[in-house]
Structures are given as structure tokens and as C-alpha cells.
Structure 1
């Protein structure tokens, strides 16, 4: 019976790692082609991975909560009724990669069927993932016809799990092969202090403990009034993106208070319009439409600063990012070609994207390629803020809460629906005059929607 290891694929654009959320199968369980076997969480979305083969689960090579590099094996499958595949001749890697070609889903190439985006044919049946020194990976020996012990030096080691505190006590940092060695030698990993990078317990630590020469582990305290949460997934990606943006693009933020009573009156009118009876038109949809129209007059806010080329790239389209708060953290799905959408189409897209984001099911492709972003801080009752520009963009608009406030109309103080707008822009691309013009245009259309016909 042939044995195959399924490596973690790149399910997005250039992702390098993902966290194992939970396994859908267990060792000894039979699986079929395209059966969901594991749920992973990347920096962009939660994804369920299908099994590319039919067979029996032999071993799970990564634990829930563990962060695994793309290309590292995560599960071993005994192929039902399959013979071991002969090892083809090694071929030089192309463009620094151990893969060649990019088979489409369902198509067969080099005897291998692609079953997942980004998971295409290889030049050999199994290869060791390249290390950081970028050296070409060596081919593994073909699987034997009968079961044999798995040599530890050949199998790539997944990244160790992050420590946490449970009812049973401290869960130490150790990779699966090291845990197996400790079990075989009767060593309690919780009693060891890891000598590896970041406190990871190594084979040498386990062997030293077995010989009675290991240093005892430092006591681990679980504070009653504090807790530690590993920085990973969406939170890690968001933090890095915000730091990169804040320290690379010179931010300027301008504010505008707007009487949006006419906009709210139009919204109420649309509720009784049969054309809008099945769609929820939110104030955010009006703001998104105004943003797209205002960008026509001030295209600089929809441009990109290209540092390497020394150029400003102007976009003749708008991929509108919508900042959405989710249980997994802040995500920014994109409304593609928002500038060509009607108000109804925008409202439908916004509702669909935000619901998908909150469920953690946003497709990785919907998370990249934005040109300008809007963030609705008003849903939290916040008036405004100073938003940080998303990397690769030049502006972000914050849409504040709509409140009943006193407002002067024709010399009289009357109650009106009022909100605040805040525009942060990259001062390398957008000058003060341009940023002010854009913000004023957005405000003018929210204060009087009929102004939209002039743009």
C-alpha cells in the first residue's frame, strides 16, 4: 500500500503559513477524494481543505492551534489499493521552486490531479520543502511496499505549537517528532526547559532528560488577572500591515461635519420603492456611492505610490475595501469595480461581503487588490477617528455615527441628522487641496444626494 503525505498548500496569494484550526478526520478513518479533512486559518480567511486522495488516515502531522509553513506535510494517507509510485528522475527547480506547472482543478498533469487552487503538479512524487537558505529540496525515497518505521531525519518537521495553559497545566513547545521521542523514552516534556529558539524543546533536551542531565523547566505561572493570547492569523497580519503603512506613508487626516438629513430622507423614501424592497440600503451604501463619484474628480485618492519604480500609479477602476470587524479581527474585503455599480448593487455587495467576513468565510481573492477603503466606525456609536491607510492605497474614509444634533438652517437652530467624516491620505500622492476637495465632494453628496447628478 502506497503512503502519501499531503503538504499544506498556498490557498491565497503568496501566503507562507497557516494555523490548524481543527481536524475533520482522525487516524484510522477512511477518506474519499475531495472530502474535507482539516480547517485552517490564514492571515486572510478561514479555509477548509479537501483530501486529494482516497485512503486511510495514517497520521496527523500537526496539532490544532499549530502554525504550519506552506509546503510542510500535515497528514499521511495510506492509499487504498494503490501501488507505490516509482520515483522519477530529479529535475532542476524552476524559478527557485520545487514545482513546475500549475494544473487547473480537475485536470491531470504528470499523472497528478489538481484538486485545490494553488496545488498543481510536481516533478516528483514527494519533495522536502526548501529551507530558508533557498537550497533545492532533495527528493525523498519512494514508500516501501510494506509498513516501515518513519525515519525522523527525512520527514520535514512542522512548526511547534504555541504554548498555552489548560486545566491539565502547561503545554510545552515541542514538535511532533520530539513529542514521540519523549514518549518513547518516558520523558515528561512539562518538566523540561527548551534550549531551542523561543524555548522550543529539542531532541537533545529530551535525551539529556532521559540521561538525567537536563536542566529543570522554569515555573510557569498562569496569572489570575491576566492572560496571554498568541499573535497570529488575522491579528498578526493586520498589525504588520498597519505598522508598515504608518511608518512608510506620511499620513494626513482631515475632518468634516455634515448635515445628512436629506440623505436619511431619501433612504426612508427608498424603503417604499419596489425596486429596493428586497435590499437593505444602509447609510454606508450612500457613503460608498458618494466616495466612488467623488473619486472621479480627484483620482489621486485612488492612486498608488510605487516606491521601487519612482512612479504614481493611477487606477481607472475602484476596488473598494470595506473594513469589517469580525470575531477573528479586522478584515477588509473588496467590492470589485465599485465605481460601475448602482446604489442598489453597492448595497447588495456590502451586505454580502460583511456577512461573509463575520462568518470567517471570505475568499482569499476578495482580500487583496484594493484601491481605496471606507471604514464605518459609526456602527459602534463613534463619531470619527484617524484611520490608518491600508498598504498599497492612498486614502481611507471613516464614516461616523449619525446623530440628532442642533444645526443652523436659514438662520434658525433646528434638530438635524448629523455625522462626521474623516479622511486620511498619503501626502506623497495627495496634496492638501486634493484631499480637501475630495472630502468636501463626499460631504456635499451626503448633504444633498441630488448633487450626484453633477458628477
Structure 2
């Protein structure tokens, strides 16, 4: 018998700890090399943890829900017999860690199906994680967090003939599994009513209600966040600060007390942009594409950056340099069931309007399904937060650490406005731009915002800026 310990690896994000969301194996199970054994939550994403050994699971050192430090043993394997060369080789192999569900191509497992609907956009990249990502028109406020979106994501299926746990993991999503743990519900006893038998939040609540004889326990669980159930009282609810919330809080404090923020506002008559949006939606060339004010604003930001590159730079204090990027990794703040994330569209400056639309759709589907990889969450150069979907007119967004600027899009409202020397009912939007005053002077920030406003007020102005 040869016992090998598998210690929680460095996930490549500079993190010191991670939470074990779910074990996909149990003690005594036989596993293959690179078989997914656990879902691990970092500060940015949920990733699948593959086994570095082939053998039997001897001991799980930490139960699901435990926060483990990097380098701490999490599972022991019995690889059998003396440690041969074949058994030693996997020990030197680093786990292939990618965004939750993104390892399917490398592991040979079929990928999850994406949601057909799209909802992107934003909350302030700085502060709140309770807002729902949405790319719907800014003309109406969002109805709030769409929990069903995460519940309808179809989990990865196990391939035929693969070695699995003695008890197959029920089909559900991480938020639903966490709710089940908090309510003491055994998912193996729950019948899923979602797509392909997926266990949904309502299935868990109904099962808990039936088990408790219909008491008010499930009513409270339905109204309070699942993560807040532990340690709650009648007068207050306590939520552990960890995962995405912990990372967001640390990043925002660092940003607020490192970069001197300046915020400027510009209210623009965007009637021509909204008319263009209607025209594009009705055209054959854009049939099947999701087009919203965010789509056009994203393209406008890329155009305005060409004339005002200072907003697309970063402060390198170690080398006493200002680094100006000649590429745009456009971050889109998106609220998910796990909290606020800001994935970015790589090299957005090279994309057409159609390609930006496709990228936003993909970004949203991936984020809402909890499959955004750490790579997509890093390297952003400037961000957009779409508070307009919640009926908000303006705000003072906090910069993502390392970025020079962030734009907040307000709601599009019909208002009396001066037009051609007369008062008319026009569609108006307020743009809020926060920037790092170390990198961007007031003149530079103002010129960028003015160019952006000019494009949205008259899209044809873009032809004069390229």
C-alpha cells in the first residue's frame, strides 16, 4: 500500500485559500488520473479539481464547505503497491484548473449547454454584488436577481464507463447544493424537476418543507440568502465573508485608498442611438444578434479610446512608469448567483459591432452559468457598468484595481429636452466616468467623456474619429 497526499495547489491567482464547494468522490472510491474529484471556489470562480493520481480515495481531509489554505492536504490516495515510475509521474503533474465547467474539452466530458437567453450589463464594478448582469435595454429597471438562470444550467454529464463515486452526484448547481447543505437536505432524496432532471432551488425548498411538516423554516430560507442561514437569529442574519465577496471587498478597499478617484457626469440626448438600435434590430444583417444600448456603448468606448489613450493605461509603481496599452480588454461588470464578477472581452478594439454582440452574449452565458475562467477575469484595461438596467440614472463607480477608468451607463429616459431650438420629448442618458487622477488629467478624462457622448448623441460622429 502506497499512500499519496494531494495538497491544495496554488491556483495561479495569487490566492492563499479556497473553499471546497463539493466533493465528487467519497472515501473508498476508485478514481482515474485527471478524473474530476471536487469543485473548488476561489475568490473569482469555481474550478474543477482533477485527481493527480490513479487509485483509491483513502481519506478526505476536509468536508465540503471548508475553507482550505494552499498547501494543506485535502485528500489521500492509495495508489497500491510500491511507488512505481508510473505512479510517481502523476504526482509531479499540476492539476488542470480552469473555470467551472471549462475543462470539459480536455477531460473528454461533454460540455454544458448554454442558456438560450442573454442578460448582461452591470452593477458598479466597485461596490455591490447584488445586482444582476443584464444586457437588456436601460429603459426599464431589472426585476432583480434571476436565480432560475443558474438553476437551469445543465451540469456536465459523466462519460460512459468512467469511474465514479459509489453514489453518483445529484444533478444540481453549486448555489442549490449550498442551500441543501444549509437546510440539511440530502440531494440524493430529492427528485429534480429542472431540465434533464436538474435539481432546482424550489425542489430543495419543497423537500425541506415536506420534511419539516410545512413549518415556516422554508419560508425563511426562501427569503434569506442561502449563505446567510448559518448563525442567523430572529433579529439579524450573519453571512460569512469569503469567496467572491471577500475578494471584491479587498479589491475595492485597495482601489479606493490607492487610486485618487475623480468622477465626471455627462447627460446626453441618445435618441439617434436608440433609433439606430431599432433600425439594426430590424435589418437582415443583424438578425439573430442581441443588440442593446450596452452593445453600442461598448463599441463607442473602443472608438473614443483611440483619441484618448490615457484612459486605457495603468500605474506601475514598482518601475515608476505609466503603462499605456495599445489593446482594449473591455471589462463588463456582471452580477451572478455567486456575486459580482468583471470578465473582459479580449482585444475588443479589433471587434466589429456583430462580434461585440456575440462576445457579450458569450460572456453573459458563461458568467451566469458559473463557468467564467480565471483568465477571462484578469487582464482588464477599462470597464463598463450598466446601472441603467436597474432604473439608476448615475453613480460614482469605483475603479477595478489596476485600471485607469470605469464608465457607468445610466437609464435611458424620455424627458423634455432642447432639440433644434424647441422643447421636445427625447430619450436621454447620463454617463458617469470615474478615473484615476494619477493617470488621467481632468482634460483627458473630459475629452474622452465628450467624445463618447458625441458618438451616442450622433452615431455618425464615429466616422470622424476612426
Q: Secondary structure at the match of 2:358?
A: helix
Measured after TM superposition, the shift of residue 248 of structure 1 is: 0.9
1:257/1:221 Cα in 2 relative to 1: closer, same or farther (>3 Å)? Answer: closer
**CA deviation map 1:256-290 (0-9, x unaligned):** 11111111111111112222112101110111111
Separation in structure 2 between the aligned mates of residue 16 and residue 115 of structure 1, nearest angstrom: 17
Question: Match of 1:281?
Answer: 291
Separation in structure 2 between the aligned mates of residue 109 and residue 53 of structure 1, nearest angstrom: 9
**CA deviation map 1:120-174 (0-9, x unaligned):** xxxxxxxxxxxxxxxxxxxxxxxxxxxxxxxxxxxxxxxxxxxxx9689xxxxxx
Measured after TM superposition, the shift of residue 305 of structure 1 is: 1.4
Q: Secondary structure at the match of 1:6?
A: strand
Question: Match of 1:83?
Answer: 82
1:312/1:442 Cα in 2 relative to 1: closer, same or farther (>3 Å)? Answer: same
Alignment of 1:265 with 2:275, yes or no, is yes
Q: Secondary structure at the match of 1:450?
A: helix
1:432/1:112 Cα in 2 relative to 1: closer, same or farther (>3 Å)? Answer: closer
Separation in structure 2 between the aligned mates of residue 308 and residue 25 of structure 1, nearest angstrom: 45
Question: Match of 2:138?
Answer: none
Paired residues for 1:365-380 under 5 Å? 365-380=375-390
Q: Secondary structure at the match of 2:15?
A: coil
Contact between 2:268 and 2:453, CA under 8 Å: does it hold in 1? yes
Contact between 1:301 and 1:372, CA under 8 Å: does it hold in 2? yes
Separation in structure 1 between the aligned mates of residue 437 and residue 93 of structure 2, nearest angstrom: 49
Q: Secondary structure at the match of 2:25?
A: coil
Alignment of 1:358 with 2:368, yes or no, is yes
Separation in structure 2 between the aligned mates of residue 356 and residue 34 of structure 1, nearest angstrom: 23
Gaps of 5+ in 1: 87-107, 119-164, 169-219
**CA deviation map 1:207-252 (0-9, x unaligned):** xxxxxxxxxxxxx985212111111111111111110111111111
Paired residues for 1:17-416 under 5 Å? 17-79=17-79, 81-84=80-83, 112-117=92-97, 222-416=232-426
1:408/1:222 Cα in 2 relative to 1: closer, same or farther (>3 Å)? Answer: closer
1:242/1:29 Cα in 2 relative to 1: closer, same or farther (>3 Å)? Answer: same
Contact between 2:404 and 2:435, CA under 8 Å: does it hold in 1? yes
Over 3 Å off, 4+ runs: 108-115, 165-168
Separation in structure 2 between the aligned mates of residue 263 and residue 111 of structure 1, nearest angstrom: 57
Contact between 2:18 and 2:42, CA under 8 Å: does it hold in 1? yes
Question: Match of 1:174?
Answer: none
Gaps of 5+ in 2: 99-180, 185-229
1:442 to 443, 452, 458: 452
Contact between 2:304 and 2:452, CA under 8 Å: does it hold in 1? yes
Separation in structure 2 between the aligned mates of residue 336 and residue 266 of structure 1, nearest angstrom: 26
Q: Which has the larger radius of gyration?
A: 1
TM-score by length of 1: 0.70
Name the one with the larger helix percent.
2
TM-score by length of 2: 0.69
Measured after TM superposition, the shift of residue 110 of structure 1 is: 9.1
Q: Secondary structure at the match of 1:446?
A: helix
Measured after TM superposition, the shift of residue 54 of structure 1 is: 2.1
Separation in structure 2 between the aligned mates of residue 374 and residue 111 of structure 1, nearest angstrom: 43
**CA deviation map 1:8-45 (0-9, x unaligned):** 12233322211111111111122222222111110110
Separation in structure 2 between the aligned mates of residue 222 and residue 396 of structure 1, nearest angstrom: 36
Cα RMSD, aligned residues only: 2.2
Contact between 1:2 and 1:85, CA under 8 Å: does it hold in 2? no
Separation in structure 1 between the aligned mates of residue 40 and residue 324 of structure 2, nearest angstrom: 36
Contact between 2:231 and 2:238, CA under 8 Å: does it hold in 1? no
Residues 39-48 or 52-61, more deviating = 52-61
Measured after TM superposition, the shift of residue 397 of structure 1 is: 0.4
Q: Secondary structure at the match of 1:290?
A: helix
Contact between 1:11 and 1:364, CA under 8 Å: does it hold in 2? no
Q: Which structure carries more relative contact order (alpha carbon 8 Å, separation 6+)?
A: 2
Separation in structure 1 between the aligned mates of residue 91 and residue 21 of structure 2, nearest angstrom: 31
Q: Secondary structure at the match of 2:333?
A: strand
**CA deviation map 1:96-138 (0-9, x unaligned):** xxxxxxxxxxxx97984455259xxxxxxxxxxxxxxxxxxxx
**CA deviation map 1:294-342 (0-9, x unaligned):** 1111111011112222211111111111111111111110111111111
